[in-house]
Structure 1
């Protein structure tokens, strides 16, 4: 038949099981999911490899690395988007929420100046059909920056914006409860002198007191009125969680303690943690490990954050660890659950009637190596 593709002899990972079978794609959708092998001559033999749903990435700042490949180097925005897109699709990510950071915590940075060019480059590449993954926008709002609220109001009206997170990276709380970790991170990342770091800390603490609470309330209220998904960031205490849940936030990004993660689950918030945390065996900031949350049944979503290839690898590693997480459950953390949390009910699972966004991966000693990727039944990798 025209517009039909048969993928057979695969280990198919659905929402609740892994089985040897065949999937038929038709007109961009999954038309059939069956046990057993197809002997039709047009069927593509996947040789017993895995067939998984395309990954859904809610939080990645990978584009920024392509926009600024070296300090002081600004790369042409359209070229940067296309390079980023190639890396994303090679990681099996078929829907990506590109995170645009509003509010620059780098005292030497120019993130804010780049935002319009980044947004327009993503939108233009997406609209032209040149991107292989589907790109949407995630606005990351740094609450302790004076210009965050005004810039947010300018950008939130863009039709690609579907997710917003609010965060406060000032020292002494949340991700950086220890000032020593704050100093270590920012002095190392931005090459600040001790004097520059001291001045930066004073400014950030003052700005947090001036703006954070007011901006958080205004941004969340605007998002909920627009029907946008909203995420908290770095909740560390039960009080943080109660505040986030009270604002109607549905996703908790990177809670830093076991107490906070437990509170998020009690209050109906999906807990998102970094896939690099799983791959590396812990948090680079000294916070709670994602694997420990998985053991407690408190992990819902994984995000590649700064390393796209970590997403599928982390799912396979998680399923192999000493916990109650099966491979279908781990795969749901990088596909079905993030899709639903962002309001996308048409993808994220191998099931009849959903979008044919799929990954063919070979298992190399526990490492899933991507062989092919389809988006709406069209091969894109």
Structure 2
């Protein structure tokens, strides 16, 4: 094992050595710890709490971009990280500029304080890291907090925030079935666990009517204003522009910087959430947010670095950490839209964890991908073997073969498939794998 590269890495190593890394969905442990720390979750700026299977990170990214374009200071919590633990904690800039990842010394010191407050009490690492979020965000000034749920909603450690400004649920599909259930209705009920009496609710686009029905029933119990995509707010494209509509009228906006039709719904969800939470950004701030939004590792085009240099001239290298059937569908849809403009053979380079359902993910690419190269994930001890993952791709109707690494897969195509036009590569299947590619490409989030 390599030596820690930062003070925070050293503290994380201590936490991992003492406490479980996985999930144990209860709230009593973190509530006890937060009480010792003085309940910092109650002293944070107004909070937008976001759950969902897919799209919650993008919705947070749009929200951050819009708020910062409006001159607001924003704290952002997302998980998991791609390359570095610091990515989970973005603090507002006191000078009014874009927020920045927490500095190493501050993160390490806060981790030590939280660990000392917990003592020898049983707790998971995720719960400790969530407590770190609340301490950091309560001690630094900001206008808003964007808080991403880690897993599920009802018993997620972030759900101790009692009075968020708004609760948001993005697209729901099957994922984490061992924890959340094997039907979308069950998953939706867990996500809806973040809804609270009197707190407004925004429900983003839902492909599954059964999930939408559950979300709407739970939202009705809050007796608070609820905005549902497709009923109370809408978004569509017209003449190369994004049109957003709600009861207040229309907004004519540029298309989002993030690629994919699904991002139209995520952008609309962010706008609705900000309005319902009372931030009321101006149309010009929303427009600048559409143009300035960034969300690494999600349909991100890699245009430099050692991996890109291995590809044949004219090739494209794309990266997405999506890892469930719902994500597979929207990624495949976006790539199909790209093929309408430029015909290229598509090669998938995939790695996935054993907790995921690979066949459903790969089925979205049947008839599109020329071949799948399956690779190990060095940064996770829960990675599926390339051989087993290749078998899953074959079951899904794709040609597949195991491979030693992303670099080796690119080399194989670039040297062994010379008869085909410059290919389009998609590295996919895991945020861990996405993080490895960003690290190796020297594109770690900042």
The TM-score range, normalised by the shorter chain, is: 0.3 to 0.5
Normalising by structure 2, what TM-score?
A: 0.29
Normalising by structure 1, what TM-score?
A: 0.33
Which has more strand, going by share of residues? 1
Which has more helix, going by share of residues? 2
